[in-house]
Structures are given as C-alpha cells and as structure tokens.
Amino acid sequence: MAFLVPVLVGAGAVVALDRPVDEPQVKVLEPPTPTPVTAPAPVEEPTVEEEAVVEPEVEAEPEPEPEPEVIAEPEVELEKPAPAAGRLARLRARLAKSNNVFSKGLLALLAQDDIDEDVWDEIEETLLMSDLGADPAMELVDRLKERVTVEGTRDSETVRAMLREELVAMVDPSMDRRLTATRKDDKPAVIMVVGVNGVGKTTTVGKLARVLVAEDREVILGAADTFRAAAAEQLTTWGERVGVETVRSEQEGADPASVAFSAVETGVAQEVDVVLVDTAGRLHSKANLMEELGKVKRVAEKQAPVDEVLLVIDATTGQNGLAQAKVFTEAVNVTGIVLTKMDGTAKGGIVVAIQRQLGVPVKLIGLGEGADDLAPFEAETFVDALIAS
Ligand SMILES: Nc1nc2c(ncn2[C@@H]2O[C@H](COP(=O)(O)OP(=O)(O)OP(=O)(O)O)[C@@H](O)[C@H]2O)c(=O)[nH]1
C-alpha cells in the first residue's frame, strides 16, 4: 500500500530545494517597523551666475578599486533522509519487546498439545499485558479456541500462521492510513500535530518533515508550540538539517494561532506541498487549553483547510494514553494517530486498542530517537514483526 497519495518517489529521491541554501532558514515573526515617510528633497536647478563661479574642477583622486565582495558561503551540509517506503520492515527489530510477548510468550502457549482452561487464561492475560484491551483480548481468545479445536494437532508453523491471520484482522489492513500531503485547490496540504506533554510531537514533526523531503515534497514548518521556549529552536534545527524553513515567533508565549496562521500563509505564498504545524503539549483535562487547540485550527484554516490532525500518543503510557486521546478527538477532528516510543515497550497490542476505541487509524509509528526512526504503519508488516521467530 502506498503511504502518501498519490506520488511516491522511491529510494534515492533527490532533496529538492526551491531556494539557495545560504538563505536564512528561519522566518521570524516580528512586529512591522514603521517606515519613515520622507518627502523627496527638491532638486535645485543651478543658476547661470552660480555656474560662473564654479571653481575649475580639480582632478579627483581616483577612487580605490573596491575589493570584490567575498560572500561567505556557509557550509550547509544538507542531510538526505532515508526513503519512507519499507521503513517499518527495516526497523522491525525495534519491536523486540513486543515481539517477546507475542512470539516467545503467546506462540509457546498456543503450541502446547493440550490447551486447557488455565492455559487459555494465561493466553488472555498475556494479551492484556500487551495492552490489546479487554474486549479484543477476549475476542481473540475465542477465535483462537475455535480454530485450535478445528485444526486439532498443530505444529509451530500452523500456530504462527493462525495467530498472524487473527492479529492482522484485528489490526485491520482495510483502514485508510494514507497521509494527505498533496496540494489541492492551489493550496498546500496542512498537517497539525497535537498531544499531551512530552509524547514526542516536536520530534515527530521533525521526522515527518524528513519523510516528506525524502519524497521530494516542499515543506514549511510552523512552530506553534510557543509555550516551551526550546521547542521552536528544536524544530528549526530539525528543519535546517533538510533545508526546510521554520516559521516561528521570537516572543515566548506568543499566540500559537497567529504562528499557525503565518506558517500556512507562508506555505500558500511559497506554493509548498505541505505545512506541518507543531503545537504545545497540553493536558487533556484543561478545558481552556483544549479550546485553544480548536482556535489554532480555525485560525490556520483562514489560509487553507487543515487536512490532517495527527494525535501523538506515547505507546508506553498504554491505557492511560487512551483516556487522554479521547478528549483530543472531541476537541479537534483527529484524522490519524502517531504512536511513539514503540521501541521501548512490550505493549504492541495498544495499536488495536486505540483504533477500536477512537475509530482512528494509526498512521505512523515512532521506533527510536534517530532522525529517520518514524515509519508509515502497515498492518501486515507490523504483525509479522510481532510474531517473528
Ligand atoms: N525511544 C523513543 N523516544 C522518542 C520517540 N519519539 C520521541 N522520543 C523522545 O521523546 C522525548 C520528547 O520528545 P519531544 O518531541 O520533545 O516531545 P513533545 O511532545 O514535543 O514535548 P512538549 O512540547 O513538551 O509537549 C525526546 O527525548 C524524544 O527524543 C520514539 O519513537 N522512541
């Protein structure tokens, strides 16, 4: 399945820049400085008498030849991000902890000759520990029970194939996980990234910019996280590494909606493909902060429609993260989930739980702190990684 519609440039895509690399990469929003209006000085026509008293012209010293101006070309080494296609397969080893639960734990239990009720309980418990959620865990146990009865004797390959089939069905390959990242109606695609504190929003925006650059898209970043002082700097650095401009405000605590507006405005003017807007982490329990998120979206939409609102969830927070997520889906129309920190958790089942409870597909997963450790989510590749031997 293609990750982004409709153009997918494969490996080795050249990073396209629409301006020379020595231009400043940061657009800083500053109050406009009033331009003093000065009347042009009247040009006086010289009179004839005046002309008569003009001293004979002394030959002026020849002006020294100006030194040719040397423009220092800053050494901007642009990085070439890894292509997005096939990333999940390449990073599958990062799911080692989840793999331990499914492949080592679950498969061993299922491969036993006699699976009695105690073993089925243990299977269900293992599924619950992976954060699959109570209903899906029960459903899966029922499906497996049914199949084990029908299949009779089972070798480990049959069991693996059976579990794979059932898990893939639960992760649901039919969900539309494509990310809108294509211009339409002469406007850039706009993607907003939201979530609670510290889940990895800024990092995700930076990594996503690289995914898009790897696909030859032109991107603008908007640092609408005006709450955390370092966030704009962090985002700017991510952008600079791949030649992407960041629109930000130098004023701490500036109105995030106005930064988002300016970022989209810049994106429209520069005719880029995608504007990525980072927002501040906020507690789902703070109604005013959730309202602010709605405002950021509305104000940005005065320039161009927001196509995607990606909710970032830290996979290690499990079911607690789910409760937070619900509030976000009520405040803004969340179109996709980014599950971060999947490299550090055994709770791979959270993918199913989130999709079931929120009705929103997981579109991307974070598998590490490295710049290219963000992968488009693919149901089958994900399940294969979980049950790999
Ligand atoms: N291991 C791992 N760490 C990650 C991943 N994604 C992000 N992180 C780390 O999580 C930490 C927080 O990331 P940020 O991007 O600053 O989080 P944020 O949501 O923007 O934070 P606030 O703006 O304070 O809400 C950083 O140390 C990231 O490197 C991931 O997929 N795996």
pLDDT given at position 9: 33
Separation of CA 158 and ligand 1 centre (Å)? 39
Mutate to test the pocket of ligand 1, among 369, 372, 377 (most ligand atoms within 8 A of CB): 369
Q: Is the ipTM of this complex over 0.85?
A: yes
pLDDT given at position 113: 78
Lowest pLDDT segment from 16-25, 46-55, 226-235, 261-270: 16-25
What's the rounded Cα separation, in Å, for the pair 99 and 106? 10
What's the rounded Cα separation, in Å, for the pair 85 and 188? 22
Is the pLDDT at 91 greater than 80, yes or no?
yes
* Ligand 1 atom closest to Cα of residue 199: 19
CB 139 within 8 A of CB 127: no
Lowest pLDDT segment from 50-64, 250-264, 311-325: 50-64
Is the pLDDT at 63 greater than 70, yes or no?
no
pLDDT given at position 4: 39
pLDDT given at position 374: 96
Q: Give the residue numbers of the binding site for GTP.
A: 195-202, 278-282, 340-343
Q: What is the mean pLDDT of the chain?
A: 82
pLDDT given at position 323: 84
What is the number of other CB atoms lying within 10 angstroms of the CB of residue 38?
Answer: 6
Lowest pLDDT segment from 39-48, 215-224, 339-348: 39-48
* Ligand 1 atom closest to Cα of residue 206: 15
pLDDT given at position 73: 46
Answer left, alpha or beta for residue 86, where phi above 0 means left and psi between -120 and 50 means alpha.
Answer: left
Is the pLDDT at 62 greater than 50, yes or no?
no
Which residue CA neighbors atom 30 of ligand 1 most closely? 341
What's the rounded Cα separation, in Å, for the pair 317 and 297? 26
Is the pLDDT at 64 greater than 50, yes or no?
no
Lowest pLDDT segment from 14-23, 174-183, 281-290: 14-23
Share of residues in the chain with pLDDT > 70 (%):
80
Which carries the bigger pLDDT value, residue 109 or residue 66?
Answer: 109
Give mean pLDDT, residues 1-23.
34
310 lines ligand 1 (CB under 6 A): no
| 225 alpha carbon, distance to own chain's centre | 14
Is the pLDDT at 69 greater than 60, yes or no?
no
Give mean pLDDT, residues 135-141.
95
3-state secondary structure of 76: coil
* Ligand 1 atom closest to Cα of residue 225: 23
Exposed e or buried b per residue across 48-62, where buried means at least 16 C-beta atoms within 10 angstroms of its C-beta = eeeeeeeeeeeeeee
Separation of CA 193 and ligand 1 centre (Å)? 13
Which carries the bigger pLDDT value, residue 327 or residue 274?
Answer: 274
* Ligand 1 atom closest to Cα of residue 367: 31
pLDDT given at position 319: 78
Q: Specify the pTM.
A: 0.81
Split at pLDDT 50, 70, 90, the class of 99 is: confident
Give mean pLDDT, residues 177-195.
96
For residue 84, give the amino acid letter. A
pLDDT given at position 26: 53
What is the number of other CB atoms lying within 10 angstroms of the CB of residue 40?
Answer: 5
- Tally of helices (H runs) and strands (E runs) in the chain: 14, 9
Lowest pLDDT segment from 39-48, 49-58, 346-355: 39-48
What's the rounded Cα separation, in Å, for the pair 203 and 374? 10
